[in-house]
Amino acid sequence: MLKQLYIKDFTLIDTLDMRFFPGFSVITGETGAGKSIILGAINLLLGQRADMKLIKTGCSRCVIEAHFDLSRYDMEAFFTENDIDYDADDCILRRELTSAGKSRAFINDTPVPLTTMRRLGEQLIDIHSQHQNLLLSDEDFQLNVVDVIAQDKDALDDYRREFAGYIAAVKEADRVRREIEDGMRNEDFIRFQYNELCDAQLEPDIQEALEQESETLNHVEEIKTALFAADSILAGGDGEGVVERLKEVARTLGGIGGICPDIKDAAERLDSCYIELKDIADEVSGNAESISFDPQRLEVINSKLDRIYSLQQKHHVSTVDELLKIRRHHGELLENIDNSDAHLKELEAEKQRIFKLCEEKAARMSGLRRKAAGVIEGEMQKRLVALGMPNVRFSVTLEHKDLAADGADRVVFMFSANKNMPLQPVSEVASGGEIARVMLSLKAMISGAVKLPTIIFDEIDTGVSGKAAERMAMIMQEMALKDRQVISITHLPQIAARGTTHYKVYKIDTSGGTESRMDVLSPDDRVREIAQMLSGSDVSEAAVSNAKELLGMI
């Protein structure tokens, strides 16, 4: 539920800090007074994209902030999922725009992407504006109404997962079929390239190993010279090598270890060094004896490297791993070509299997929707009759369609307001006032199935007057009794008089220019406002008396 709305430097609003209350509230004001500005500010909090022109002239930024009470709506999971602090009693949404073109969104002082704010906003407030009446011609909207009443979310999610699998299977079958067709056209060339890559006997890391061996063979004399020099120094002759001399030092110090404990550790370390150096000397000596120049081996290596370099240049790659990847791909293409009929049959069989599952799950949803359609027809009939349409008929038609992401049903709302008139699509035959009453009835019905904290109706009463307006107000009152806050922006006194809280939006001229303001009306101010709505700018005694009667004060 919306508890408080704060707006600073937004279009014609300097500062607005307004508290809101549970139940049914109304907002009135002359056309152009600024009601749409306030709605525009709320829409920004619901994640709507911002226009920097909305910042009040002469100001560097604007701020819109709203406080919500979520204590009765079990929404903690959303905050946990998005790593946002949760305060059920005071959830704060804030939007800041700067003249430099920056837009920032916050939930409980945590910066969030606009998409996150939009997702939360959709769970907090539903704003029904006049243009939403056009939704009655939208098949998706009508189907969504049926799904809400059917409460088929689990079945729909289950179907959509299966349908996504079917679409993936269709794409995979099409991809493989295209690859096979392309492959058949180029089979000889692909097979030649595949065989060429196989004949090269490529393995991972082979290029690095061959290049290292080639480098070694090309510098054999240099390597042998260095190894023999090192061997001479390490082993030497007649005990003059470093190894033998180190051994002698270790033996000498070891001899005095018993009488000089301080040197014992050094002697042991020298002994370890001797063992390690002896191993190194043996390794150097062995390498010096074994390494030799092999021109035939060098020729084989260079031939293999030349082949690798040639293949890399031919396929526009730089590593053996990439060549191996190409070889695998060509092998898969050839396997698909060789086994194309069997492979395609498998893919088609899998596609058909998933399609049948989709049909079964779609049929289940259709059954749920048909039951919901009957409920909707009964509810709408009852509500529309109460709104002054005694001869109304409302029908929900479900037509079969090809499987789609939302199932196999096309929904059409059929409507007739008069006797002996055939049912036709509601968007084609209903007048403006009738559409307003249909939409209010749908919203009231849906609100019973969806736990939405706040609903704002922006002049939903357009084209309605008299008793119908009073009955519309009663429906909004009824909606507000079910742990829900309903706010109606209206020009009709019959609706304004039904609100438990009455706000007025108006303009004033100040030294800084024209400003829009909003006040909560006292009982006396309400009487005058409703009397003015009844009679115009010249408020008569009769209008005041009528206003008091509407307010139940006499």
Question: For the chain, which domains are there?
Answer: 1-129+453-521 (3.40.50.300), 187-338 (no CATH), 524-554 (no CATH)
112: left (phi over 0), alpha (psi -120 to 50) or beta: beta
Q: What is the pLDDT of residues 31-57, one digit of tens each?
A: 888 888 999 999 999 888 888 888 998
The candidate with the shortest Cα–Cα distance to 441, out of 385, 499, 371, is: 385
pLDDT bin (cut points 50, 70, 90) of residue 130 is low
Q: What is the pLDDT of residues 58-69, one digit of tens each?
A: 899 999 999 999
Cα separation, 11 vs 56, in Å, equals 4
Q: What is the pLDDT of residues 90-116, one digit of tens each?
A: 999 999 999 888 999 999 999 999 999
- pLDDT of res. 165: 95
At 377, the amino acid letter reads: E
Cα separation, 24 vs 476, in Å, equals 7
pLDDT bin (cut points 50, 70, 90) of residue 164 is very high
Those residues with Cβ within 8 angstroms of residue 475's Cβ, 6 or more apart along the chain or in another chain: 383, 386, 387, 440, 441, 444
What's the rounded mean pLDDT across residues 275-285? 83
- pLDDT of res. 303: 87
- pLDDT of res. 206: 87
Q: How far apart are the first and last CA of the chain?
A: 32
- Whether 373 shows a pLDDT value over 80: the answer reads yes
- pLDDT of res. 156: 94
- pLDDT of res. 117: 93
Name the most confidently modeled range: 84-93, 336-345, 473-482.
84-93
What's the rounded mean pLDDT across residues 500-516? 89
Buried b (16+ CB within 10 A) or exposed e, 122-138: eebbbbbebebbebbee
> What is the DSSP secondary-structure string of 175-202?
HHHHHHHHHHHTHHHHHHHHHHHHHTT-
Q: What is the pLDDT of residues 66-89, one digit of tens each?
A: 999 998 888 899 999 999 999 999
Cα separation, 369 vs 94, in Å, equals 39
Least trusted range by pLDDT, from 11-15, 282-286, 389-393, 490-494: 282-286
Which of residues 451 and 345 earns the better pLDDT score?
A: 345
Q: Beta-carbon neighbour count of residue 173 at 10 Å?
A: 17
Mean pLDDT over each residue of the chain, to the nearest integer: 87
What's the rounded mean pLDDT across residues 144-150? 92
- pLDDT of res. 386: 86
Q: What is the pLDDT of residues 433-450, one digit of tens each?
A: 888 888 888 888 887 777
Q: Beta-carbon neighbour count of residue 399 at 10 Å?
A: 10
β-strand pairing of 485-489 with 23-28: parallel
- pLDDT of res. 278: 84
β-strand pairing of 485-489 with 454-458: parallel
- Whether 374 shows a pLDDT value over 90: the answer reads yes
Contacts from 249-257 at CB under 8 Å and sequence distance 24+? 250/274
CA dihedral 436, 441, 444, 450 (to 10 degrees): -100
